[in-house]
Amino acid sequence: MLTQADITLIIAALQFWAEEMDPQDEQCLRIYAEVPEAEQSWTPAEIQRLRSRLNTARLKYAVANESRTTLQDTELHSTFQGAFEARNDPSDLVGTLLLPEAPPEI
């Protein structure tokens, strides 16, 4: 379950990666991602854009059935606790949605 604290940690890790890792070192991502076929292809500018998107995104929570195929309803909850309490069945699962910041109104 992602929380705002998790997103903050990811943002900080991305900043560290952009500042401390060599963008030309493809082995670096393979080591840290523990995926032998991983290739590092992000520039510091791309990492900064991702950090910015994560920083402005909003976390919401939705309730899905146990098989993760159907949402219980269309309500998005602002807190995990609110979504957890809205479950119809103990086997229902709470999922995290990361929504982009709303565009400015014209």
The rounded percent of the chain whose pLDDT value lies above 70 is 94
- pLDDT recorded at residue 106: 65
Write out pLDDT tens, residues 4-14.
899 999 999 99
Write out pLDDT tens, residues 13-47.
999 988 888 777 777 777 777 777 777 777 788 88
Stretch 43-58: mean pLDDT: 89
Burial 8-22 (b: 16+ CB within 10 A, else e): eeebeebeebbeebe
Would you say 99 and 6 are in contact if contact means Cβ atoms under 8 Å apart? Answer: no
* Residue 98 DSSP one-character state: E
Stretch 37-63: mean pLDDT: 86
